[in-house]
């Protein structure tokens, strides 16, 4: 996964702006409380860290991520002394048992091969009675930016089906709550959150795909010039219809879950 999300500034253009839109809604659902020590697992460039900081005045916030470029970017982004960042894996969080009041993870678990290990680690570092919460993009077509892209890519190139983002784990209704229960968390609650993705123009949608970030960006980078042009034109027609250009809105649904660490 590192090669898909190694460039922090490109990630910001591609997905960071939408993460920033989702983060406050997720933090509200997680029940972030001022004064709690909060961990963000897979913090990326810091969208959730920012949302938690905006909601609190006394909380200590720690972000952890395995990607050096993301950690360097986040450390430069934040000057708030309450906020620190560590490089580390969700599978072996570098913190003692019961280190945090709340452990959160946004848009990570559906990308990793063993989300159960990450969930167990989040439970381990959370104090008894503390909150463990996560969210992922919906994998059943609710993330229109991706589903429209892959639908057109497969139409033009059936081989793209093997590379398309399809439901795997933790991104369909009920999968996160099942994982939380299997992890031994109590008072598990799952729901959906939707955001608008407002694009100013077709280029506002298309150009971030040329940054080589995420599965769509890697796919575009591997295309020939002719294949890239055909995909661009096909997507333009799908998104704009008969218009030459202009703003449009897509939707993105995420599944969110929270639970309580047992005593």
On the question of pLDDT at 12 being above 80, the answer is no
pLDDT of residue 2: 38
Across-strand partners of 258? 133, 189
Return d(Cα 74, Cα 85) in angstroms, integer: 7
pLDDT of residue 3: 44
- Which tens digit of pLDDT belongs to each residue from 35-47? 999 999 999 999 9
Give residue 96's domain range: 2-260
CATH number at residue 58: 3.40.50.150
How large is the average pLDDT for residues 19-48? Answer: 96
Confidence of residue 1 (pLDDT cuts 50, 70, 90): very low
Domain tally for the chain? 1
CA-nearest of 99, 83, 91 to 66 is: 91
Return d(Cα 121, Cα 118) in angstroms, integer: 5
What pTM value is reported for the model? 0.92
Q: In this structure, are residues 59 and 81 in contact, taking their beta carbons and an 8 Å threshold?
A: no
């Amino acid at each position: 996964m590192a090669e898909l999300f190694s460039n922090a500034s490109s990630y910001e253009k591609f997905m960071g702006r939408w993460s920033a839109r989702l983060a406050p809604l997720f933090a509200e659902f997680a029940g972030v409380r001022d004064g709690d020590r909060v961990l963000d697992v897979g913090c990326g460039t810091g969208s959730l860290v920012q949302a938690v900081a905006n909601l609190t005045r006394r909380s200590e916030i720690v972000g952890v991520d395995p990607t050096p470029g993301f950690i360097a970017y986040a450390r430069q982004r934040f000057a708030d002394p309450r906020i620190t960042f560590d490089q580390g894996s969700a599978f072996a969080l570098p913190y003692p048992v019961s280190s945090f009041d709340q452990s959160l993870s946004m848009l990570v678990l559906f990308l990793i091969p063993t989300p159960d290990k990450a969930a167990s680690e989040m439970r381990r570092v959370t104090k008894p009675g503390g909150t463990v919460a996560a969210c992922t993009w919906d994998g059943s077509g609710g993330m229109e930016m991706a589903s429209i892209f892959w639908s057109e890519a497969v139409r033009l190139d059936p081989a793209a089906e093997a590379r398309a983002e399809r439901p795997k784990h933790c991104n369909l209704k009920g999968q996160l709550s099942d994982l939380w229960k299997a992890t031994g968390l109590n008072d598990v609650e799952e729901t959906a959150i939707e955001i608008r993705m407002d694009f100013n123009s077709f280029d506002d949608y298309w150009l971030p795909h040329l940054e080589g970030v995420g599965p769509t960006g890697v796919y575009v980078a591997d295309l020939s010039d002719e294949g890239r042009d055909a995909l661009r034109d096909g997507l333009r027609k799908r998104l704009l219809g008969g218009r030459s250009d202009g703003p449009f809105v897509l939707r993105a649904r995420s599944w969110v879950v929270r639970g309580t660490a047992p005593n």
